[in-house]
Amino acid sequence: MHASGQIVRIAVAAWRRRRWFIAGACAAGVALVTGLLWPMDTNRYLNAGASPQMLDRDGKLLYAFLNDEQQWRFPRALDEISPYIVQATVAVEDQRYWEHPGVDAFAIARAILQNVFRARIHSGASTITMQVVKLADDSDRTVFGKLAQAWQSLRLERNADKDAILDAYLNSAPYGLNLVGCEAAARRYFGKPASELTLSEAATLAALPKSPVGLMPLKHPDAAKARRGYVLDRMAAEGFISDDDCVRAKGDALTAAWNEFPQLAPHLAMRIASSAKPIMSTQTTLVYALQERMENEVTEYLKQFDNDVSNAAAIVVDAETAQILARVGSADFFGTPGGGQVDACRAPRSPGSALKPFTYALGIERNVLYSTEMLLDDSLDYGLYNPENYDGKYRGLVSASYALRRSLNVPAVNVLDRLGYDDLHRFLQNAGITTLVKPADYYGLGLTLGNCEIRLDELAAAYCTIANLGEYRPLQDVAGASPTPVRVISEGACLSVYGMLDQELPNEFQRDIVRARGYVPRICWKTGTSTGNHDAWAFVFNRHYVVGVWLGNNDATPSKYLVGARAALPLAAQLFRSLPRKAMSDWPEAGNAMRTVKLCADTGLPAAPWCPHASTDILPAAQFLNRKCDVHYPSPSGDGAVQRWPASAKGWDLANVNATIATVRGDATRKEGFRILAPTNNAEFVLTREANSDRIRLRSSADGSTTVHWYLDGEHIGVSGPGTPLFLDLGDGEHQLACMTASGATDTVTFSVAAPYAPQTFRTAHAQ
């Protein structure tokens, strides 16, 4: 009885132990299954940290930086990698990759048998999935480490597809030096992206992860070539390539060499890298081929100036989207001492006459100018400001279009005087110019001649506004949603400027474009030269593109070569010719924005009924025709018309307007509205003590129509009349100037004249 009870107790105890074992085994099984099925954060395995890189609009590498681990690593999607390297990697690293669940039992059994029979470690059983886990977790090579790898590999395969895991391996495997991933290796060793690798090149790279140091082709070419042959044999054995392909690839020379990574658009790359929220991969709006070509052309172009002109910047913009297609911030970012790193696209410089088109466009919009009218190009006095043309010459009566194309200063100042510099100042700010930080009074009338500082990229954006018919967008250099356009000027005013600047490039440049592109593009262009020849500018544009160029020296040293038309325009034309031709017309359609108007053929103003010569032209449909021809009047006899040109036109050749100075009898003024035009009330003058420099012309609203008597400080000083201007030699002190017509109309102003002092507190600008 005692013995049987002992047996029962033993059996019960054994059952309990077996029950706990079964329960434990079940629990372990449930835990394993749950672990395998439980969602896994795959990010650290599949998305390893990349080197910061800047890409063009199509994803091509423009510039790259080392990552935090001081490695070059450029992750690429599997479809961006050559199939050869995918096949070579599978063939040599994990032949059963597509069949096993992350751990290959057959490979484990094979490795155990080989290692036992050879009494040493002959082969391993790590799969590609296990290597991805190892590279991410940096697990050790102990039994427990291998078990942990195997477990995580099984989980990873349950939570990610095979393509993603293989892609992760190709982007994180070591390829020698500090190169991680096949993309970095392909660019360093073969100077090309991984998508362009040949069969032999792919086999060379696929061999490296086994021994990145011992098989590195730059140091051990023989070992690398031998291992490449083994990889090709494995590819043939697995059926990835034919035996003939294998033999041919083995015969290829080992072409691995040291290749630098692309370093295009370095100024933009540095700005992106130093931004408040840098990201690993930034896609820009740039075009790789255009950027590379433009950098080379700018550097080559400057060689003709030797050391007289040391720097240049250029920008190419898609006019319709305001996206930057290429930009060069300096001629030599890495080699120019003390200045190459300065981004001249964003550095404020004096623009010279490059601002004139905006003065004319705004004058047209504000109804103070017709694009067809005649302007007088003659010396002007504006108190302390005496604008002159760049060449020191005057041309008399010229059309507004001629004045803008020839970049005449005096007519431009005349237009701004009518308009008011406050309006131009405000418009330029609305068109994206951020450097006009001082009040409009600081710049005055010289603003249209560029007595300010403006950035090349912002001025290019302003030209895009004209090219895009009045809609402003800030320039975009990083891919993303385009800013909403804002209308800052009318379509008609912009179309007028198109017509005024519609001109062929100088012959030597035009022939180059014809040869390069096979057709003559219809374009507009404008140049600028800063006072003292410190800066040369040029802008070439049409409906599709805006090209802006600046040339100068980093230390602002002047040069006789720094003239916009001679230095900057040839480069701008050269860059423009390299742009792809678009299907649409180069020129915008006028549509309903313009209308045909009958004009006086002599003055370019809307014709009065008695104008003897009429023509037609197009003007903005929204422009008021309130200013009619004021030169032609009906003759006293009623037959024909007489012409009354301003006295200031006397002496100029008026054959181009079929006119002569007319003598007008009687007083044509009215007491109301009669006033002195120059000098203005409360004007301030500073003597220069230079010959003929301290003389001003006295002007009134009755010039050209009647006799005017002038009085200075109560004393009669002379008479002005039709064809007879009167000049005044300035003297120190406060003065009162009065004038009176024969009919008794009078006006009085006061002005002051100071002795010379230095430095002068007013700003002047003489630009081309």
CB atoms within 10 A of CB 656: 14
Q: Which sign, positive or negative, has the C-alpha torsion 554, 558, 564, 565? A: negative
CA distance 342 to 348: 11
Q: In angstroms, rounded to a whole number, what is the distance separating the alpha carbons of residues 642 and 501? A: 33
The one-letter amino acid at 485: P
Q: CA–CA separation, 197 vs 244, rounded Å?
A: 19
Helix (H) or strand (E) holding 148: helix 143-159
For 342, which DSSP code? Answer: S
| Rounded Cα distance, 320 and 201, in Å | 42
Amino acid symbol at 458: E
CA 417 – CA 407 distance, rounded (Å)? 17
Residue pair 192/260 in contact by the 8 Å Cβ criterion: no
Q: What angle do CA 715, 718, 721 make, to 5 degrees?
A: 140
Residues 6 or more apart in contact with residue 681 via CB below 8 angstroms: 749, 750, 751
Distance, in Å, from the CA atom of 735 to the CA atom of 633, rounded to the nearest integer, reads 38
Continuous segment of H or E residues that includes residue 37: helix 2-37
353 is known as an active-site residue: yes
Q: How far apart, in whole angstroms, are the C-alpha atoms of residue 161 and residue 184?
A: 24
| CA torsion, ordered 78, 80, 84, 90, to nearest 10 deg | -10
- Contacts of range 430-435, beta carbons closer than 8 Å, 24 or more positions apart: 430/472, 430/486, 430/488, 431/358, 431/461, 431/462, 431/465, 431/472, 431/488, 431/489, 432/458, 432/461, 432/462, 432/465, 432/472, 432/474, 432/475, 433/458, 433/459, 433/462, 434/458, 435/348
First to last CA, the chain: 127
Please name which of 387, 391, 384 lies closest in space to residue 376, comparing C-alpha atoms.
Answer: 387
Q: Which residues contact 221 (CB under 8 A, 6 or more apart)?
A: 254, 256
Q: Which residue has the tokens 């982007």?
A: 171
Please enumerate in sequence order all residues whose Cβ is within 8 A of that of 597, keeping only pairs 6 or more positions apart, or say none: 606, 616, 617, 618, 619, 625
User: Using CA atoms in the order 455, 459, 464, 465, what is the torsion angle rounded to 10 degrees?
Assistant: 120
Residues contacting residue 487 through CB under 8 Å, at least 6 positions apart:
470, 471, 472
Cβ–Cβ under 8 Å, residues 359 and 410: no
Q: 550 with 568: CB under 8 angstroms?
A: yes
Q: Looking at 93, 157, 201, 292, which residue is catalytic?
A: 93
Of residues 153, 310, 330, 353, which has the active-site annotation? 353
Query: Contact, 444 vs 385, CB < 8 A?
Result: yes
Structure token digits, residue 438: 């001082």
Residue 453 a catalytic site member: no
Point out the residues that are catalytic.
93, 353
